A and B are shown apart, each in its own frame.
Chain A
Amino acid sequence: DIQMTQSPSSLSASVGDRVTITCRASQSISTYLNWYQQKPGRAPKLLISAASSLQSGVPSRFSGSGSGTDFTLTINSLQPEDFAAFYCQQTYDTPQTFGQGTKVEVK
Chain B
Amino acid sequence: QLQLQESGPGLVKPSETLSLTCTVSGGSISSSSYYWGWIRQPPGKGLEWIGSIYYSGTTYYNPSLKSRVTISVDTSKSQFSLKLSSVTAADTAVYYCARHSSGLYSAFDMWGQGTTVTVSS
Contact = CB atoms under 8 A, between A and B. Distances in A.
Interface of A: 1, 31-32, 34, 36, 42-46, 49-50, 53, 55, 87, 89, 91, 94-101
A32 B100 CA distance: 13
A95 B105 contact: no
A107 B83 CA distance: 42
Contacts of A42: 113
Instruction: State the main secondary structure of chain A at its contact with B.
Output: loop
Q: How large is the interface on B (under 10, 10 to 19, 20 to 34, 35 or more residues)?
A: 20 to 34
A53 B109 CA distance: 13
A98 B57 CA distance: 25
Interface string B24-47: 000000000000000000000011
B46 A49 contact: no
A75 to B, nearest CB: 19
A46 B47 CA distance: 13
Given A55-B109, A94-B60, A95-B63, A43 B48 contact: no
A45 B63 CA distance: 25
A42 B41 CA distance: 11
A71 B87 CA distance: 36
A89 B46 contact: no
B48 A44 contact: no
Contacts of A46: 107-109
Contacts of B114: 43
Contact of A99 (B46, B96, B106): B46
